[in-house]
Chains A and B, each alone.
Chain A
C-alpha cells in the first residue's frame, strides 16, 4: 500500500440505522446491554487504523463452503452462490476487507458443541468461510442455503434462514458483524432479532435478492448481497499527528 495514505477521520456512526443495545423482545439483550450512554470520541490513529490481512493467510478453499469440509461426498442442500460489493458510505469500494461468514446447515443445525437442536449434523458441511474483497470491493462465496431453526426466546420463536457476516475494513471503527437474510422468507417479519433494527429501510439492507443472472445453469442459484461500511471524510485531522505526511 502507498506511503501517503491519509490520516482521515470516519463519518460518525448513525445509530438510527442500527438496533438499540436494549431490545427487550430479544430477551438476552436485557442483561447484556449497557445502561449508560456510549461516550463519543473523535477519531485518533487508534480508530482509523486496522489490521491488514493478506491472501497468503487464506487457503484456496476457504471461500467454498460446499467443498471446504467435504469428507466423503457433497453436503446435502440447496447449492447457492452469495456475492456482492463492500462499499463505504460514499460508494467507494472497500478493498482488501476481510469477510468471514458462518451458518447452519440445510436443516438448521450448527456445527458447534453448544448446539443441541435435534436436526442432524451434515458430515460434509462445516459452515464457515472467509475471503478478501478485490480492488472493486467484490466478494463471492459458494455454500448450501441454511435452514431456519428454533431458539429459546419466546417458546416458539424461529430464526429465518440467515448467514452471519463479519467485516474488517480499513479502520478498526468500521468493524461490523451482521446477518444476511433471504428474499421472500416469511419468518423475516416475525424475527425479534431482525425486527430490533430501527427502520424498515435498514431492515431491507439485510435481505439478499435472488440473482438469477448469476446462477450457474444446472448447478447452483445465486443471491446478491451488498454491504456498506462507514466512510472516510474528505478532510484530514485538523491537527496532523506528529510526523504525518504533509
Chain B
C-alpha cells in the first residue's frame, strides 16, 4: 500500500503516566488548569451520577496505577464535536463530555462525576443504548484498551443496542453493565473492569 503511512506504534503508558496526564496524582503542581474526573459544571443539564470501579489483573489484584478516560454524549444524546450532526438533539455548552481519572494508589478505586448520557443514533440509524466510552492505559498495557459502560437499569435499550448485540457470547455482554446503587443523595454506578481471566471485560477494536 503505497503512500499510506503506518500509524505510529503504541507503547505502554508506564507506571508514571500521572506525571504527564495527572501531575497532582504524581505529587506535584505545575499547570494552572488541570484536567479532571469531574465532567459536570453547575449549569450542566442531566441527571448527576458517579461512576466508580476498580480494574483487576489476571490474578484478581487491583491495578493501582491505571489511568482511564471517558468520552460521552450529553443528556440529549449528542457529542460536543462538529462531526455530530444530530440536529434534533441540542448541544449543551456546559458539557464537554470528556474526563480523565486515576485509580487510588492504595485502594485501586477510580471514579468520575458526570451525567447519565442520552441515546446516540448508531451507524445503522437505530438508537444505541446510553453508554460511556472508556479508554484504559497502565503499566503492562501495550496498547490502550477500549470498552463501553452500559447501564444495567436500561434493560429495554440494552436489548436493542447494536454493539451489545454484536457480542456473540451473550454472557460476556454482562461485563459491560454498570449497576446502580443509591448512597444518600448520590447515585453511583459501579463498574469493575477485569483485564484477564474469569469474567474478563469485553474490549473493542474500534
Question: A60's closest neighbor in chain B, by CB?
Answer: B32
Give which listed residue, A18, A34, A69, A111, contacts B9 with CB less than 8 A: A18
Give which listed residue, A111, A164, A202, contacts B6 with CB less than 8 A: A202
User: Does the CB pair A239–B124 fall under 8 Å?
Assistant: yes
- Cβ distance B102 to chain A, nearest Cβ, rounded Å: 12
- With a CB–CB cut-off of 8 A, which chain A residues contact B121? 45, 241-243
The reply to whether the CB of B187 lies closer than 8 angstroms to some CB of chain A is no
- Mark out the residues of chain A between 100 and 127 whose CB falls within 8 Å of any chain B CB in the assembled complex: 100-103, 110-115, 126-127
User: Does the CB pair B26–A206 fall under 8 Å?
Assistant: no
Contacts A49-B84, A112-B19, A193-B12 known; 11 new A-B pairs at CB < 8 A: A14-B7, A19-B143, A26-B12, A31-B195, A32-B139, A32-B196, A44-B122, A45-B73, A51-B80, A228-B7, A239-B123
User: Does the CB pair B144–A177 fall under 8 Å?
Assistant: yes
The reply to whether the CB of A140 lies closer than 8 angstroms to some CB of chain B is no
- Cβ distance A231 to chain B, nearest Cβ, rounded Å: 8
User: Does the CB pair B85–A241 fall under 8 Å?
Assistant: yes
User: Does the CB pair A41–B124 fall under 8 Å?
Assistant: no
Task: Write out, one digit per residue, whether chain A residues 5-46 have a CB within 8 A of any chain B CB (1) or not (0).
Answer: 111100011110111110100101111111110111111111
B interface, by DSSP: helix, strand, loop or mixed? loop
A interface residues, Cβ below 8 angstroms from B: 1-3, 5-8, 12-15, 17-21, 23, 26, 28-36, 38-52, 57-59, 62, 68-69, 87-91, 100-103, 110-115, 126-128, 130, 164, 166, 170-173, 175-179, 193-194, 196-198, 201-203, 205-206, 227-230, 237-245
Give which listed residue, A6, A46, A91, contacts B133 with CB less than 8 A: A46
- With a CB–CB cut-off of 8 A, which chain B residues contact A6? 83
The reply to whether the CB of B185 lies closer than 8 angstroms to some CB of chain A is no
User: Does the CB pair B11–A179 fall under 8 Å?
Assistant: yes
- Cβ distance B169 to chain A, nearest Cβ, rounded Å: 9
Known: A34-B200, A39-B204, A242-B88. A19 touches B9 (CB 8 A): yes
User: Does the CB pair B204–A40 fall under 8 Å?
Assistant: yes
Task: Write out, one digit per residue, whether chain B residues 67-83 have a CB within 8 A of any chain A CB (1) or not (0).
Answer: 00101010000011111
User: Does the CB pair A245–B206 fall under 8 Å?
Assistant: no
